[in-house]
Amino acid sequence: MKTIISLFFLILVGFVSCQKEHDDQKLGETINLPLTFVEGIGPDGFGYSLLAEEHKKDDPSARIWVKTYLPVKGIPGTWRGVKKSMVPLNLKQLIYQNYKAGKISQEEFDELKKSWEWELNPEELSAEPIKCYVYVVSGTDKEGLIAVIIDANNNLDFSDDEPFYPKRIAMDSSMMRYSESEKQYVLYEVFQDGRVVSKQVPMIIRRTNVLPLAYTFPQYAITQLKVKGQTHTIALNNAGRPDYEGSKLTLVDQDTTVMKGFTDWVAKGELLSVADFWIR
């Protein structure tokens, strides 16, 4: 018999729902494994994403995304070449709330659901708009240096946030190291247990030799699974966004915190065999 793990409401409710064979439990009984969120580099590292500028209104290929953008203020007037970027922290929530607000049509919404193979569960998402994104602005300051501001308090006003000059790194092993001074905490909201809950997540923005500006969230989650009297620690990376949509699971050695087995990407709700983790 196999132990089955189901990623269920992963980031929204903060636990992993499991069906498992246990010494003192019947096969198929459901238990909840609480997640602990940890700042830093997980056993499988973390990924960077391009800090993309907002699409122009006349870009037909981005007609849906343009409808999600919001007005911001407080951008330094002395900056040149200003670029505004909306970073989704929960992409499905962002799309759903704009659909419910009438900004995205039924046809567009259905098209996205089909292309993403998205089985919508309205109980997981807020129909009212929540702060499931963070805005970032970049530009060249009066000294000719590339500067960035993160709207860390998520009020769509950059005047109460501090500009900074992102560190330049190569896209190699050094990208997995960072200093505490590079990290900023972003406030955002999630829909959890039928209500809106405030959260915060660390964010880092850097310049690279491949991407002009790139961002990441140095955070991962861990949980523990007991099988045949032994406790195993499982790490879940955030796949570049704090909604943990499409996480990568890694069995972690408790003494050395190195990967031991299963490292495939998994979707929320997908069933996995504990044999994939090489638990014997």
Who wins on pLDDT, 151 or 20? 151
Q: How confident is the model at residue 267 (pLDDT cuts 50, 70, 90)?
A: low
What pLDDT, on the 0 to 100 scale, is given for residue 32?
Answer: 65
Section 21-45 average pLDDT: 65
Residue 32's closest CA among 55, 61, 8? 8
Task: Label residue 207 exposed, middle or buried (CB < 10 Å: 0-12, 13-18, 19+).
Answer: middle
Pinpoint the alpha helices (H) of the chain. 10-13, 63-66, 91-100, 106-116
What pLDDT, on the 0 to 100 scale, is given for residue 253?
Answer: 58
pLDDT per residue over 139-172, tens digit each?
999 999 999 999 999 999 999 999 999 988 877 7
In the chain, the DSSP E strands lie at 4-6, 15-19, 30-34, 36-39, 49-50, 80-88, 133-140, 146-150, 168-169, 184-192, 195-208, 214-216, 219-227, 230-237, 247-252, 265-266, 271-273
What pLDDT, on the 0 to 100 scale, is given for residue 112?
Answer: 94
What pLDDT, on the 0 to 100 scale, is given for residue 7?
Answer: 37
User: Is residue 37's pLDDT more than 70?
Assistant: yes
Would you state the structure tokens that stand for residue 166, as one six-digit string? 């992102």
Domain limits of the chain?
Answer: 4-45+224-277, 49-216
What pLDDT, on the 0 to 100 scale, is given for residue 222?
Answer: 85
| 34 touches 214 (CB < 8 A) | no
Return mean pLDDT, the chain. Answer: 80
Q: How confident is the model at residue 4 (pLDDT cuts 50, 70, 90)?
A: very low
User: Is residue 23's pLDDT more than 70?
Assistant: no
Q: What is the pTM of this model?
A: 0.81
Would you state the structure tokens that stand for residue 206, as one six-digit string? 């850097």
What pLDDT, on the 0 to 100 scale, is given for residue 21?
Answer: 44
CA angle 198, 39, 86 (to 5 degrees): 55
The b-or-e profile of 176-198 (16+ CB within 10 A means b, else e) is: eebeeebebebebbbbbeeeeee
Packing angle, helices 91-100 and 106-116, rounded to 10:
160
User: Is residue 236's pLDDT more than 70?
Assistant: yes
For residues 153 and 136, what is the distance between their CA atoms, to the nearest angstrom?
11
What pLDDT, on the 0 to 100 scale, is given for residue 268?
Answer: 57
Section 73-84 average pLDDT: 96
Q: How confident is the model at residue 1 (pLDDT cuts 50, 70, 90)?
A: very low
pLDDT per residue over 46-60, tens digit each?
778 899 999 988 887
Q: How confident is the model at residue 193 (pLDDT cuts 50, 70, 90)?
A: confident
